[in-house]
């Protein structure tokens, strides 16, 4: 057996061993997404297969069915965010917490109609058994959000006319702790610290239904309010 043949045999053994390691990592992960050990075993199997394929091509002009390219393990770890590279923490370009802050304003065509729809939502979802009537606009808005999905989308109803809004994405040093602010503090939870940094902003603009506008123009009537928003 020539040295080249022995090198091919050793390369094939590395493929077999890497395949076993990959299978063992997959079994251990048991379906867990983005498992570091599965990823590293995949890279090893990929590179062992690539090396064997290249040796087989050089020696005999033959190829395997494996159409793979070599992967730099350290570069792959950095690109895909795997936590450990050679026993050390990988560099993380976003070590801070991401804070998403949204504001949207609404016009209330009828306070009575808003309170009525919030009371209906409370009756349909009694929760902790609070059967008291909804008496304020603040209660009504919170009741509608609790009855919905908890987001501002729950307020897209005819009883509220959606105006402009804005979404701010910021990197912050410290995660939010609501308990550190008074119940009537409307500024503190949203204020950025000096070390925090805004990384993006999305403006939302209300728009009127064009078909309703045209109908109103033809009939000399005011268009019905729209609760939709669009994003620039």
Cβ within 8 Å of residue 120, ≥6 positions away: none
Sheet holding 161-172, edge to edge: 97-107, 161-172, 197-206, 229-231
pLDDT of residue 11: 92
Q: Which two tokens stand for residue 202?
A: 């999305």
Q: What percentage of the chain reaches a pLDDT higher than 70?
A: 78
* Model confidence pLDDT, tens digit, residues 60-103: 899 888 888 888 877 766 655 555 444 555 555 556 788 999 89
Cβ neighbours for 114, distance < 8 A, ≥ 6 positions apart? 108, 137, 140, 159, 160
CB 36 within 8 A of CB 90: no
Which pLDDT value is given to residue 228?
42
* Both structure tokens of 195: 């070390």
Q: Which of 108, 167, 100 has its CA nearest to residue 138? A: 108
pTM: 0.48
Question: Tokens 């076993």 sit at which residue?
Answer: 20
- Model pLDDT, residue 3: 79
User: In this predicted structure, what is the pLDDT of residue 69?
Assistant: 86
197 within 8 A of 171, measured Cβ to Cβ: yes
pLDDT at 170: 92
What pLDDT score was predicted for residue 110?
Answer: 93
Which two structure tokens, joined as six digits, stand for 45?
A: 């199997």
- Locate 124 and state its tokens: 């349909």
Q: What CA–CA distances, in Å, run from 15 to 6, 35, 148, 153?
A: 14, 21, 54, 52
DSSP calls for 151-198: SGGGG-STTSEEEEEEEEEEEESS---GGGS-TT-SSGGGPPPTT-EE
pLDDT digits (tens, 9 = 90+) for 167-182: 999 998 888 898 899 9
Place of tokens 């609501």: 178
- Residue 138, token pair as written in the block: 């603040």
Stretches in the chain below the pLDDT threshold 50: 84-86, 210, 222-232
């Amino acid at each position: 057996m020539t040295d080249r043949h022995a090198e091919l045999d050793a390369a094939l053994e590395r493929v077999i061993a890497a395949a076993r390691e990959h299978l063992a990592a997959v079994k251990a992960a048991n379906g867990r997404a983005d498992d570091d050990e599965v990823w590293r075993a995949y890279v090893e199997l990929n590179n062992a297969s690539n090396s064997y394929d290249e040796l087989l091509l050089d020696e005999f002009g033959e190829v395997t069915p494996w159409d793979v390219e070599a992967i730099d393990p350290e570069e792959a770890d950095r690109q895909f965010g795997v936590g450990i590279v050679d026993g050390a923490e990988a560099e993380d370009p976003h070590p801070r917490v991401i804070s998403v802050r949204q504001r949207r304003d609404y016009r209330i065509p009828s306070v009575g109609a808003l309170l009525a729809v919030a009371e209906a939502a409370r009756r349909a979802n009694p929760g902790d058994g609070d059967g008291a009537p909804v008496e304020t606009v603040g209660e009504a808005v919170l009741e509608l959000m609790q009855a919905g999905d908890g987001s501002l989308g729950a307020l897209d109803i005819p009883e509220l006319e959606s105006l402009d809004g804005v979404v701010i994405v910021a990197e912050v040093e410290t995660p939010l702790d609501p308990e550190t602010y008074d119940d009537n503090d409307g500024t503190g939870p949203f204020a950025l610290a000096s070390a925090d940094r805004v990384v993006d902003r999305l403006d939302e603009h209300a728009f009127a239904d064009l078909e309703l506008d045209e109908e109103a123009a033809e009939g000399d009537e005011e268009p019905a309010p729209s609760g939709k928003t669009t994003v620039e």
